Amino acid sequence: MIDVHVVGGGLAGMSAALDLADGGARVRLYEASPNFGGRCRSFHDPLLDREIDNGGHVVLSSNEDAFAYLDRIGARGEMAGIVPAAFPFLDLATGERWTIRPNAGPIPWWIMAPGRRVPGTRPSDYAEALQLYFAGEGARVADRLDPDGPLYKALWEPLATAVLNTDPREAAARPLAAMLAQTFGRGEAACRPYVAANGLSRAFVEPALMALARAHVGVEGGMPLDGARIERGRVEALRFADAEIDCRRACVVLALPPHALARVVPEIGVPAESSPIVNAHYRLDVPVALPGGQRLLGLVGGTAQWLIARGDVVSVTVSAADALVERPPEALAALLWRDVAAALGLPALPVPPARTIKERRATLRLTPAQENRRPGPVTAALNLFLAGDWTQTGVPPTIEGAIRSGRRAAQAILQGHPPDPAGA
């Protein structure tokens, strides 16, 4: 039986631990914080007196690894989707509304119907997306999609910014092409957006911890990793604040953010640049009703980008939020509420009770140079493997990427990369 130590209790670490346990390994999972889930979790906010998420996360129906994980932990029912797929938008500057409605099948007949595409655009405008598929390694999104074109502000920019968490003027084109191929390139059934109906922890974290317990995975919170001793081409020990774990006859999965990995194992080169996300949550006096009765609304022409409604709380997400992250919370809450109020037809003042959350290192800044530095799960150390949404998964750093990375690390261990105990 293989012994595996997984460090990092986010989605990457938990998915790796589950797959390893299912494959017959003896697994222990360590997390620095008392709380598991990483950047995908919920908490009770005393100001709002509500359970809120630390970020606005959307899972698409094409995210096969994410839904396999949800099925494994018995939590698919926690996800609420827009079926058939629809992406409603509002232009805050003009008041114009539209909804993108893809059709079944891979041929995009929907672009022929004026009511299913961006107003004022022609079917031929959408052919521009094909340029992404011929992008070279150094190509950026804005190199392939015309920033002055009729679709850029209304569709390409909000979509690319949300998916890549990087300004499209500097973001790598290839990851966006991969996302479009897996969603719009496969038709409506692959495009359906899902949100956690009762919060991220209820969907992704709490059921996973119960599944780990059933699989007899040892789980320890409050265990920050101080370092790893690598000798003779293998991890020989993991150093925690109060313990040192002998790893000479075990495998190690480090499911850590890149800045944390660089601190504890500087021998491994990692992408160094990150991009922030700002979220704001507002509690209203009545349940929130977004236009069309949907849970999701895309905004253009303002500062806010995406709204998610759950009960009497409306949450707003701003990706690639470099221009906002240094602003005081009260100023952010007021600024973003102006957009939310306009979208909901409510007064701009007074600002309702609000909680702002800044994730300064939310994801990798996905420039072409950084995209090319994303490592796979296998390292030069015989028993050391990597996981995390920032590693090379074939998709952008998302929930799908995090879960897929954990599964790939587990697969690498189970399919032929056990540690060589010679000399241990």
Count CA atoms closer than 13 A to 190's CA, side-chain side: 16
In tens digits, what is the pLDDT along the chain, a chain of 424 residues? 899 999 999 999 999 999 999 999 999 999 999 999 999 999 999 999 999 999 889 999 999 999 999 999 999 999 999 999 999 999 999 999 999 999 999 999 999 999 999 999 999 999 999 999 999 999 999 999 999 999 999 999 999 999 999 999 999 999 999 999 999 999 999 999 999 999 999 999 999 999 999 999 999 999 999 999 999 999 999 999 889 999 999 999 999 999 999 999 998 889 999 999 999 999 999 999 887 788 999 999 999 999 999 999 999 999 999 999 999 999 999 999 999 999 999 999 999 999 999 999 999 999 999 999 999 999 999 999 999 999 999 999 999 999 999 999 999 999 975 544 443 3
**What pLDDT, on a 0 to 100 scale, did the predictor assign at position 422?**
40
Sheet of 296-300, strands arranged across: 97-100, 87-91, 296-300, 306-310, 313-319, 274-283, 354-364
Which residue ranges form the domains of the chain, and what is each CATH number?
A: 3-41+200-272+367-414 (3.50.50.60), 87-191 (no CATH)
pLDDT digits (tens, 9 = 90+) for 217-233: 999 999 999 999 999 99
In the 3-class helix/strand/coil scheme, how is the chain assigned residue by residue?
CCEEEEECCEHHHHHHHHHHHHCCCEEEEECCCCCCECCCCEEEECCCCEEEECCCCCEECCCHHHHHHHHHHCCHHHEEECCCCCEEEEECCCCCEEEECCCCCCCCHHHHCHHHCCCCCCHHHHHHHHHHHHCCCCCEHHHHCCCCCCCHHHHHHHHHHHHHCCCCCCCEHHHHHHHHHHCCCCCHHHCCEEEECCCHHHHHHHHHHHHHHHCCCEEECCCCEEEEEEECCEEEEEEECCCEEECCCCEEEECCCHHHHHHHCCCCCCCCCEEEEEEEEEECCCCCCCHHHCCEEEEECCCCCEEEEECCEEEEEEECCCCCCCCCHHHHHHHHHHHHHHHHCCCCCCCCCEEEEEEEEEEECCCHHHHCCCCCCECCCCCEEECCCCCCCCCCCCHHHHHHHHHHHHHHHHCCCCCCCCCC
Q: Is the pTM of this model over 0.75?
A: yes
pLDDT digits (tens, 9 = 90+) for 141-179: 999 999 999 999 999 999 999 999 999 999 999 999 999
**What pLDDT, on a 0 to 100 scale, did the predictor assign at position 28?**
98
CA distance 381 to 251: 10
**What pLDDT, on a 0 to 100 scale, did the predictor assign at position 89?**
96
Provide CB contacts within 8 A for 368, sequence distance 6+: 137, 138, 139, 140, 172, 173, 174
**What pLDDT, on a 0 to 100 scale, did the predictor assign at position 222?**
96
In Å, how far are 60, 69, 215, 266 from 211, measured between CA atoms? 23, 11, 6, 33
Tokens describing residue 403: 């879960």
CA distance 66 to 62: 9
**What pLDDT, on a 0 to 100 scale, did the predictor assign at position 244?**
95
Helices 11-22 and 399-414 sit at what angle, rounded to 10 degrees?
A: 30
Provide CB contacts within 8 A for 114, sequence distance 6+: none
CA 173, 123, 182, 198 torsion: positive or negative? Answer: positive
Return the amino acid letter for 297: L
